[in-house]
Structure 1
Amino acid sequence: MENNMGDENKKLYFDLSEGAKAQSESLKDQSELKQVWDGSQEDFYKSIIRNQQDDIGRIGRYFRDELAQELYRMRISLQNFTNRYGDFEELRCLRDSLSTLVVEIRNKAVLLYNPILNDLGIFHAVDEAVASYKKRFGFTIDTLLDPQLRELHHQAQVHLFKLLTAIFQYLNDESPSQAISISVQVIEFEILVKVSPFFQQGEALSVSKLENSPMRLMKIAELYNARIMNDTLAAGILLKLTI
């Protein structure tokens, strides 16, 4: 018969089914763990997530502030060289490649570390993303954000922003409409994200562009730990995110 011993408050359990040796080793592990972390298991996991987010932010800042800048300086040096000694096809290709690489690195850096989100909060970051989709694709996103989002912990804002931008891309690719309304509401410890098509008068809802659209939405929800309450655009997509 298996015998378990543990701290009910901290949810730490030790298997003693193999006898005294297992008990001794488990208690030793418990002692070593307490030296590192003296809190609940949930807080321990949250601390790991926060450290990961901090690491991601540092990588993003490195890409944006150091690596991209260094590549840009290389591109300027190459331009100065060609201005002095003449341009060649190989040098033009290298210069164009450096320019493209700088843009790609800066775009990736924004995904890892969004300066507007980190400095000004989720409202400004969402506004920037919405404006970008309007400018690049002509895709209009009308947003209604709960003022309580300002009170969310920074990491919760980052998580929500990543979910919203994934939904933006999904809708831009899949939606038959060129305009979408998204509302975000905070209710206790849950965030409700509702998506509705926004049509001009007399415009009708057509079918989704791709048959695997619901599957893609499921993958997005799974990635960001959101729960799909409704997945049909006609009735309004509804997702719930627990914070």
Structure 2
Amino acid sequence: MNIENKNTALMSFSSLFPEESAGDHARGLQTFYEAFHEGPFGYLFMDEEARISKHNDKVSEILCADPASLENMVLFDFLFAEERARVQELMNRGLDTFGDPLRLVKVKCKKKVYRLVSIYLKRIRLETINKEVYVLVFLKNEFSPASASKEEHEAYYKTIIETQEAEREFIGLTLHDSIAQELYAIRISLQRFLLEHGHEEQIMPIKKMLNDTIYNVRNISNELAPTVLRDMGFFQAMDDVIFRLRKGGVDFKTRIDRRITELCKELQLCAYRIIQELFNNCIKHANATQISLSIRIAGKEVVIIVEDDGQGFGLDMEDSLRLGAGLRNIRNRIALYAGTMDLSSSPKGSKVQIKLYTK
């Protein structure tokens, strides 16, 4: 059985669904193909090893691949390691209907670029030829703030931020309540061994490494779940962040409008997370030794300026947003408050100015 489409080469399902052994499946796939080959979503057929046999043009567009090159390629070649396990698990379920999708799956598009898609998957078991075929549907996850309503805009970014905060809190508390406590127990056992058996020359370097690890775990926990911000307020939380970073040899200058404490807790958390991310970028990527922070409030406008003496970003804004997860997180938080971000960079340092608008 051959199916001809004016925009594609001759396509045949006969090798997968012989007419005499799987006529109903073949006729169903013919209808599917004719109806959706040029449709808004991508679909493909693959075997148990995720080897692609047939696909429509939308798949080629999503994967940025030449249509002819996709034949006999393995789907996993277009997925990141963590995504392969998710898709493999979906395949292993052996669903015979399109159930709930895998959402926000990263697929490789081209070098250093990926797309987010939702994946629907269904398995067809052909007993007569002892073969399983999977039908996979891609839906691109796209969002256009320009075309969305104000409510949709806020809901979208609010969901992203709330999900991130929940994950951060869970990981931070796990580090504090589980990992850190276990490290403390190891340190106590090590100290007891030292007192009972000696070997101070061998034990002390290990003890120092353990203390450093405990310190780092506590710092990570504090960054992920800023209990100081919740319990003691914005100024104390900023002092805590700066105190820990100063221990790494970085000099800070700050000028913070005290009226920030009068803002809602959500906006204070937003400002805290933005500043935290910018500080990390200054130190880890720009190798800065001096950082200045200014927070100014004028009416409904909150202006945050972070400057450093580092080596600069080396990328324009769009490239930085695409490649840097930290800057993308900042952008999402800014969008929730209809804000803006301006970035200037040179080999002598960088300046980031962010404006947020209270509701």
Give the TM-score category using the shorter length: 0.5 to 0.7
C-alpha distance 143-65 of structure 1, shift in aligned 2 (>3 A): farther
- Corresponding letter in the other structure for 2:354: L
Per-residue CA distance 1:169-205 (angstroms, 9 max, x = gap): 44457488846351243653x53213468xxxxxxxx
In 2, distance between residues paired with 1:168 and 1:44?
Answer: 26
Aligned to 2:297: 185
How far off is 1:139 after superposition? 0.9
Per-residue CA distance 1:77-126 (angstroms, 9 max, x = gap): 11111211222766555434432321221111011112211211222211
1:158 matches 2:283: no
Q: Secondary structure at the match of 1:116?
A: helix
In 1, distance between residues paired with 2:156 and 2:345?
Answer: 38
Aligned to 1:25: none
1:223 matches 2:329: yes
CA RMSD across the alignment = 4.0
Alpha carbons 1:117, 1:125 under 8 Å: kept: yes
In 2, distance between residues paired with 1:53 and 1:240?
Answer: 21
Aligned pairs for 1:54-69 (under 5 A) are: 54-69=166-181
How far off is 1:217 after superposition? 6.7
- Corresponding letter in the other structure for 1:102: I
Alpha carbons 1:116, 1:125 under 8 Å: kept: yes
More helix by share: 1
More strand by share: 2
C-alpha distance 114-222 of structure 1, shift in aligned 2 (>3 A): same
Aligned to 2:314: 212
Alpha carbons 1:146, 1:186 under 8 Å: kept: no
Alpha carbons 1:121, 1:150 under 8 Å: kept: no
How far off is 1:159 after superposition? 2.7
Equivalent of 1:75 in 182, 187, 194? 187
Q: Which stretch of structure 1 is more off in the superposition, 210-219 or 140-149? A: 210-219
How far off is 1:60 after superposition? 1.3
Alpha carbons 1:68, 1:106 under 8 Å: kept: yes
In 2, distance between residues paired with 1:43 and 1:239?
Answer: 21
In 1, distance between residues paired with 2:156 and 2:290?
Answer: 44
Q: Which stretch of structure 1 is more off in the superposition, 101-110 or 87-96? A: 87-96
C-alpha distance 169-240 of structure 1, shift in aligned 2 (>3 A): same
Aligned to 2:211: 99
- Corresponding letter in the other structure for 2:292: I
How far off is 1:162 after superposition? 1.9
Q: Which stretch of structure 1 is more off in the superposition, 218-227 or 88-97? A: 88-97
Q: Which stretch of structure 1 is more off in the superposition, 94-103 or 173-182? A: 173-182
Q: Which stretch of structure 1 is more off in the superposition, 222-231 or 71-80? A: 222-231
- Corresponding letter in the other structure for 1:224: I
Q: Secondary structure at the match of 1:141?
A: strand
C-alpha distance 104-131 of structure 1, shift in aligned 2 (>3 A): closer
Q: Secondary structure at the match of 1:209?
A: coil
Aligned to 1:238: 353
Alpha carbons 2:295, 2:305 under 8 Å: kept: yes
TM-score (norm: length of structure 2)? 0.44
How far off is 1:130 after superposition? 3.1
1:168 matches 2:168: no
1:119 matches 2:231: yes
Q: Which stretch of structure 1 is more off in the superposition, 41-50 or 59-68? A: 41-50
Identity of aligned residues (%): 21
1:143 matches 2:255: yes
Gap regions ≥5 residues in structure 2:
1-34, 37-99, 101-150, 335-339
TM-score (norm: length of structure 1)? 0.60
Per-residue CA distance 1:203-223 (angstroms, 9 max, x = gap): xxxx86346176697545433
How far off is 1:141 after superposition? 1.6
Alpha carbons 1:174, 1:213 under 8 Å: kept: no
How far off is 1:72 after superposition? 1.0
How far off is 1:147 after superposition? 0.8
